[in-house]
Structure 1
Amino acid sequence: MKSTELMPGTCGKTTEDKLAWIYLVNLVFYFIPMFLTEMPLWEIGVSLLILPPFIYCYFWAHRSSKVKAVYPILAIIALGALITPINAGSLALFTFAGFFIGFYYSLRTAFFGLLALLTLLTTLSLLLGINHYFFVLYGGFLVLGVGLFGVAERKRVEAKCRQQQSEAEISQLATMLERERIGRDLHDIMGHNLSSISLKAELAEKLLAKDELEQARIQLRELNEIARDSLSQIRQTVSDYKHKGLSASVMQLCQTLRDKGLSVSLEGDLPILPSTLESQLILSITELCNNVIRHSQASHCVITFERLTDEINISVTDNGTPQSVTEGNGLSGIRERLSEFQGKLDYSLEKHCRFTITLPVPEEQALEPRAQKLVSGVQN
């Protein structure tokens, strides 16, 4: 009857009003007596007039906290009791009250609340002479069943809320650790360099004051080199922070190609690479995929990862038919990135347009293919 992300007590909630409307379909039982019995028009009218305040109370209960839920629950019970003399379909209203009782309160409190609700049904049945089997036994079974469903829903939501809280705590801890890592990296990178810059600037100032211009030039030249080196190190560090990892980046590139109308195949196993090399490889593959989109006029693209004994090959192949390749800043930039890691870029225009990146296996670690194959076959 209700699937709100509500956590009774201290945990917050997210109201799902659209889904809450769906559970009002249970009101169909409220209309059954109108069709099975010959009710006067005024009774039908009064029965229909009860529905707007009930729906208001339903959403009131749906959005309430545990402390304030008692008010809409009592209002729903009161509406059910008032309409019972006219329409025995009021049992549908009592079942909603039973659900909220089970959902909001502890098992002990819910037990006594549902017991009180069953006592009310029995009292109404006796006072109004309603069929005991229908109103007390059948109605009591519905109220208890839906109330227990409310208890189960509460348990589920509490468990989900605890899981979300745990995930939030883990995420917060990971963020704190990442901040510490960034702070430590920047300190390691810049601490010594900034000290050197300060000392050399101070020394150059003193040399200029003594008119020792040549020595001052040497200090300023070294200061400039330190500043450039620091800037390069910071850029490299930021680049390492920004990339999402080879797997996530390749999947995003594939989606970009599909969005442009190409079908895509991924073949082979993703290698495990050092973060600096992985960053440059991601930038290189991105440039090649952008070239496919801009220049190839292809309908299909294959990205292949292949590890040999002493090298790793990554190729981007499309079914375009270019007659020649003009190397611009993009391809030149790829060659410059790869040269730092003794890598190279080759291309072939035979049958299809294929660009291949070749990287040596890093010496500091023996690379093994990932256990799970990335993708096999065509993905449209």
Structure 2
Amino acid sequence: MLELEKRLSWVYLINLVFYVAPFFYINYSLVQYVWMTLALVAFIGCYYWIYRSPPSRMLWPILLMAFIASAITPLNYGSISMFAYVSFFIGFAYNFRQFLAGVAGLICILVLLDHFFVKGAPYFLLYGSALVMAIGVFGVLDRTRRASLLKEQRSAEEIKQLATIVERERIARDLHDIMGHSLSGIVLKADLADKLLQQQQYQAASQQLQELAFIARESLSQVRQTVSGYKHKGLAGEVQALSGKLREAGFGVDVQGEIPSLSAREETAVVLILTELVTNVLKHSNGDEVRIRFSENEQGYQLMVSDNGKVAELHQGHGLTGIQERLAALNSSLEWQVSPCSFSFILHKEA
């Protein structure tokens, strides 16, 4: 989603100096000062409202900013700078046709204000129209730039995912080749040792068992070397993949919250834990809805997996034991309840 850069939002307020300047060289009454100050505060409030909103929800603050600028123009012609902000946000939030319509509407407002209210400022309409069109174009360009950056980011993520898939396929092929060859050798040695034992050729059988143990140790070493470079496709990618498996099995899936950025060690552990929890749902749940929720609090990052299946009691098997062992290594623990069935844990933040 396109967003405005909130970090520098306060910097751009400097353009309101053209609105504030008349405060110092025009003699206004106290009431007029109060009204102009209230208008300025309300305008800045709308400005930050827009910065907190996605483009689809910018319409109301934009309209309110345009209304404030129009209402205060009879007192302060520096409101031209306010119209420039409105034009920029229209260019950022809407497509080019909508931008042109919005700018045309603003210029019509300037024409009416110039005709009925502006006195002693012959260049109000000229400057205002030029500023609205120019600053609006900057909004359009900024939207285009951010859309391009977002597209590049997505492309980079897709390339990364494809590279991960290729790596996983390579590992799968290597494991297939290694294990196929090794297991064939182990079966052959085991059968031969069994026959030698039946024939009471104990020395020969012992030799075959020693070779079998060597093959097993060598296979274990090769497997470790193969998978040592294994890289999962990230927590977000795994959540998407597991959600797909649940949906294929007939479950409705609701993923809530923002997926946290974790260290490589924590992310790998969370991926394996989440995989085990989803596997338990696929095997044992009699429900049809699954919720995966990520949240953050003062303690750390929390993950909860729950479903609407009915469970009378929960028996702890190897899967839950393995999860607890992984969490213990991260100074965390697994909590669960059976009605509704849910599992949760917290990864504590570093002090």
1:300-346 deviation line (CA, Å, top 9, x unaligned): xxxxxxxxxxxxxxxxxxxxxxxxxxxxxxxxxxxxxxxxxxxxxxx
Counterpart check, 1:192 vs 2:181: yes
Counterpart in 2 of 1:26?
15
Counterpart in 2 of 1:310?
none
Q: 1:74 to 1:14 in 2, by over 3 A?
A: closer
Which of the numbers 102, 109, 123 marks the counterpart of 1:120? 109
Instruction: Report the TM-score when normalising by structure 1.
Output: 0.56
Counterpart check, 1:87 vs 2:83: no
Question: Is residue 103–residue 151 contact of structure 1 (8 Å, CA) maintained in 2?
Answer: yes
Q: Displacement of 1:131 after TM fit?
A: 4.0
Q: Displacement of 1:40 after TM fit?
A: 2.1
Q: Displacement of 1:138 after TM fit?
A: 0.7
Which of the numbers 88, 91, 96 marks the counterpart of 1:107? 96
Question: Is residue 91–residue 137 contact of structure 2 (8 Å, CA) maintained in 1?
Answer: yes
Secondary structure of the structure 1 residue equivalent to 2:9: helix
> In 2, distance between residues paired with 1:201 and 1:24?
80
Question: Is residue 125–residue 131 contact of structure 1 (8 Å, CA) maintained in 2?
Answer: no
Which of the numbers 28, 36, 49 marks the counterpart of 1:39? 28
Q: Displacement of 1:191 after TM fit?
A: 2.3
Greater shift, 203-212 or 94-103, is seen at 203-212
Secondary structure of the structure 2 residue equivalent to 1:197: helix
Q: Which runs of 5+ in 2 are unaligned?
A: 232-351
Counterpart in 2 of 1:67?
56
Instruction: Report the TM-score when normalising by structure 2.
Output: 0.60
Counterpart in 2 of 1:217?
206
> In 2, distance between residues paired with 1:208 and 1:53?
93
1:139-194 deviation line (CA, Å, top 9, x unaligned): 11111110011111122112222211221211111111111112222222222112
> In 1, distance between residues paired with 2:132 and 2:4?
24
Question: Is residue 74–residue 118 contact of structure 2 (8 Å, CA) maintained in 1?
Answer: no
Question: Is residue 102–residue 110 contact of structure 1 (8 Å, CA) maintained in 2?
Answer: yes
> In 1, distance between residues paired with 2:215 and 2:139?
67
Which of the numbers 160, 163, 166 marks the counterpart of 2:152? 163
> In 1, distance between residues paired with 2:74 and 2:198?
105
Question: Is residue 55–residue 92 contact of structure 2 (8 Å, CA) maintained in 1?
Answer: no
Q: Displacement of 1:66 after TM fit?
A: 3.1
Counterpart check, 1:147 vs 2:107: no
> In 1, distance between residues paired with 2:29 and 2:200?
113
> In 2, distance between residues paired with 1:94 and 1:183?
61
> In 1, distance between residues paired with 2:177 and 2:119?
83
Q: Which runs of 5+ in 1 are unaligned?
A: 1-11, 243-380
What amino acid is aligned across from residue 122 of structure 2 in structure 1? Y
Counterpart in 2 of 1:137?
126
